[in-house]
Amino acid sequence: MHFADVPGQNPAKAALVAAVESGRLPHALLLLGPEGCGGLPTGLAFAQYLFCTARTGGDSCGRCPDCTKAAALEHPDLHLSFPALKPGPTKAALSRNHLPEFRQFVRETPFGTTSDWMTHITSEGKRGNISVDEMREIIETLSLKSYEGGRKVLVLWRPEYLGKEGNALLKLIEEPPPDTVLLLVAEATEGILPTILSRLQTVRLAPIPVEELTQLLAEKHGAEPARAAAVAAMAEGSYSAAVSLLNHHDADRFATFRAWMLAVFTGRGVQLATTAEELGKEGREGTRAFLDYAVHLLEHTVRHRAAPALPTALPADETRFVSDLARNTVSTQTLARMAEAMGKTAYLVDRNANIKIQLHALGIRLVRLLQGRTTSNA
C-alpha cells in the first residue's frame, strides 16, 4: 500500500517521512486515530515506505521487489500482530494462524474495523485478543537478524487488545532489537498501559475530511454526488462508517430510528421491548451501524440547535427530524447524555454482549434520562 492510497492524514504522512529523512525515526511509534480514519492502512503504507529501495516524492515506489512483497503483506521482515482467536481451549491465540485471512481482509477492506475483522474470521461473535504467547513469539522473532539485511518492522494493530499482556510489549520497547521499528496502531489510549504509552512517540491521525470522503464514495463506490455528500457528512470522518451507511437502506434505518425514538419519548415499555427485539435481528454489525447512525443524528441535533442556519447535509427526512428535535424542550445536556449512552451500548455490542438485552436496557436508560430533565432547555 502506498501513502497515496490512504486518504487524508497528510500531516501524519509528512511527519513520518520527515522522521525517516532526518535519520531520527524513533524505534517505537503509536499511530493514534479514531476508528475508520485509516490507522491500519497508514501503518502498512509506512512499513512499505520503510522497506522501499526507490522512494520518490515522499512515498514508496510501488514497483521494487520490497514494495511488491510489502504490498502483498508477504515481506519476510514485515511482522504483523492483530487480535486473533484461540484455535482450541488450550491453544493460544496467534496472529500467524490467521495470516492468509488477514491478507485477504486488508486487500478487500483496508479500512475495515476490528469488529469487521472479527466478523471476517468468525461467525460466532467472539472477541479476539493479542496473547502473551504471541508477544513472546514476536520478541523472539525480532531478536533474530532480518531476512533481507535491512530493517524489521512490526505493525501491531490495536494494542488495546493486549490488556495486561502489555507488560511483555514493554520489554520489547525498552530493549529494542537493532534495526527494528515498532508501529502500534491504536484508536484510544485508555486500553494501553501508561508505562507503554510514555515510551511511545505518538503520531495523531485525524478524521478524514468530508470533501475527501465524498469524493471516495463517488469514485470508488459509485455513489450519486448528493448521496455521497450526505453520507460523508454523517460519517464523521470514518471511511468504514461511510461505506456501512452507504450500503444500508437509509429509509428503513430512519423509520426504525423514528419508531424507537417515539417509544423513548413517550416511555412506552412494550414498544421499547418490541423495537429492541426487531433491532436485535440485525445482528452485531447491523446493530452497531444503527447505533452509530443514531449517535450521529443526535450529534447533528445538538449542532443544529447551536447553529440553526447551517445546512445539515442530511437527507430530507433526517433534516426534518433533526430540526424538530432541536426545537423540542429536551436539554442539550440530555441529548448529549443520550448519545453517550448509545455509544456505550455500541461499545458493549461490539464486545460480545447480548444484543437484545443491551438494546432494551438502553431504551430504558434513555427514557430515564428524558424523564429526569425534559423541562429545561439549556
Segment near Zn ion (CB under 5 A); pick from 56-64, 223-231, 238-246, 257-265: 56-64
Residue 4 CB, nearest approach to Zn ion (Å): 13
Segment near Zn ion (CB under 5 A); pick from 66-74, 177-185, 195-203, 354-362: 66-74
Q: Which is nearer to Zn ion, 60 or 312 (CB)?
A: 60
Residue 57 CB, nearest approach to Zn ion (Å): 12
Q: Residue 352: CB partners within 8 Å, gap ≥ 6?
A: 125, 126, 127
Residue 102 CB, nearest approach to Zn ion (Å): 22
78 binds Zn ion (CB under 5 A): no
- Tell me how crowded residue 164 is: count the other CB atoms within 10 A of its CB: 8
60 binds Zn ion (CB under 5 A): yes
Q: Which is nearer to Zn ion, 70 or 242 (CB)?
A: 70
| Residue in 377, 109, 83, 85 with CA at minimum distance from that of residue 240 | 109
Among 64, 121, 273, 336, binds Zn ion (CB under 5 A): 64
15 binds Zn ion (CB under 5 A): no
61 binds Zn ion (CB under 5 A): yes
Among 12, 28, 67, 231, binds Zn ion (CB under 5 A): 67
Give the DSSP per-residue string, 161-214. GGGGGHHHHHHHHHSPPTTEEEEEEES-STTS-HHHHTTSEEEE--PPPHHHHH
Joined grid coordinates for residue 32 = 493514534
**32: helix, coil or strand?**
strand
Q: Which is nearer to Zn ion, 72 or 357 (CB)?
A: 72
Beta bridge partners of 352: none
Residue 53 CB, nearest approach to Zn ion (Å): 6
What does the alpha-carbon distance between residue 45 and residue 11 come to, in Å, rounded to a whole number?
15
Dihedral angle, C-alpha 259, 261, 266, 272, nearest 10 °: 70
Joined grid coordinates for residue 298 = 443526535
Residue 61 CB, nearest approach to Zn ion (Å): 3
Segment near Zn ion (CB under 5 A); pick from 46-54, 99-107, 112-120, 346-354: 46-54
40 binds Zn ion (CB under 5 A): no
What does the alpha-carbon distance between residue 277 and residue 274 come to, in Å, rounded to a whole number?
5
Size of the site for Zn ion (CB under 5 A): 6
Residues that bind Zn ion (CB under 5 A): 52, 54, 60-61, 64, 67
